[in-house]
């Protein structure tokens, strides 16, 4: 399934556990359209535009106030690239909101962007334009290989077999049709449900293999 979906599923950005990021030196009323490839290995699939502004949604796990060893994403004083956008320097966090400044000459695809060498690259959505939707994350129904072998089988149900989250998706996903499928970058493959939400069909890697 992964091999098939990797070939046919267009890529989209989706923030499943949103935390706000504010770029303090970015003009409040400015909106830019960033160009994103629909499939990085298939240039014939074309590109799409995603709005970029002063306030963005990022994944909660992409910021640590006191970073652990080997952490290359947002933490006070560190530079990261916002995927297909700008390089930003993290200032810190205030009232639950992460603050950073951006380098105006670091936009991806422009001549000045190459001089910025950063290890972290994170995805985002525009807080003003994002499409809010329920996203359902599925796991194995049971938490053991042989349900009921050692106890009543209902006790072996996996309580995390389905988790519903309120996600912030790039606005192009608002027009997705039922049963249309996508790769949400970093998160796996998802299909649009008839009720307007999205269901994860499979993760990017098999976490159960071991």
Structural domain includes residue 164: yes
Residue indicated by tokens 């962007």 = 113
> Which CATH number goes with the domain that contains 25?
2.40.240.10
Determine what percent of the chain is predicted with pLDDT higher than 70. Answer: 98
DSSP 77-122: T-EEEETTS-EEEEEEEETTEEEEEE-TT--TTSGGGGG---SEEE
Measured CA to CA in angstroms, residue 81 lies from 42, 122, 145 at distances of 23, 6, 41
Each residue of 56-79: pLDDT tens digit?
A: 999 999 999 999 999 999 999 999
pTM of the model: 0.91
Same domain? 45 vs 80:
yes
Each residue of 129-142: pLDDT tens digit?
A: 999 999 999 988 99
Q: What is the mean pLDDT of residues 93-121?
A: 93
Of the candidates 69, 94, 126, which is a domain's last residue?
A: 126
Same domain? 82 vs 20:
yes
Are the CB atoms for 74 and 118 separated by under 8 Å? no
Q: What is the mean pLDDT of residues 179-193?
A: 96
Give the residues across from 19 on adjacent strands: 58
């Amino acid at each position: 399934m992964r091999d098939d979906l990797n070939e046919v599923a267009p890529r989209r950005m989706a923030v499943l556990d949103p935390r706000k990021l504010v770029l303090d030196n970015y003009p409040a009323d400015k909106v830019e359209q960033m160009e994103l490839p629909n499939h990085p290995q298939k240039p014939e699939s074309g590109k799409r535009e995603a709005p970029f502004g002063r306030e963005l949604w990022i994944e909660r796990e992409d910021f640590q106030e006191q970073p652990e060893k080997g952490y290359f994403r947002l933490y006070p004083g560190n530079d990261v690239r916002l995927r297909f956008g700008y390089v930003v320097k993290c200032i810190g966090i205030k009232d639950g909101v992460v603050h950073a400044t951006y380098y105006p000459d670091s936009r991806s695809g422009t001549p000045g962007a190459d001089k910025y060498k950063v290890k972290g690259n994170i995805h985002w959505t525009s807080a003003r334009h994002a499409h809010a939707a329920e996203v359902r994350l599925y796991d194995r129904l049971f938490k053991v290989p042989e349900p009921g072998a050692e106890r009543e089988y209902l006790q072996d149900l996996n309580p995390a077999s389905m988790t519903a989250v309120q996600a912030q998706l790039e606005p192009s996903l608002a027009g997705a049709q039922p049963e249309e499928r996508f790769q949400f970058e970093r998160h796996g493959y998802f299909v649009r449900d008839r009720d307007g939400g999205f269901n994860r069909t499979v993760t990017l890697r098999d976490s159960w293999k071991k």
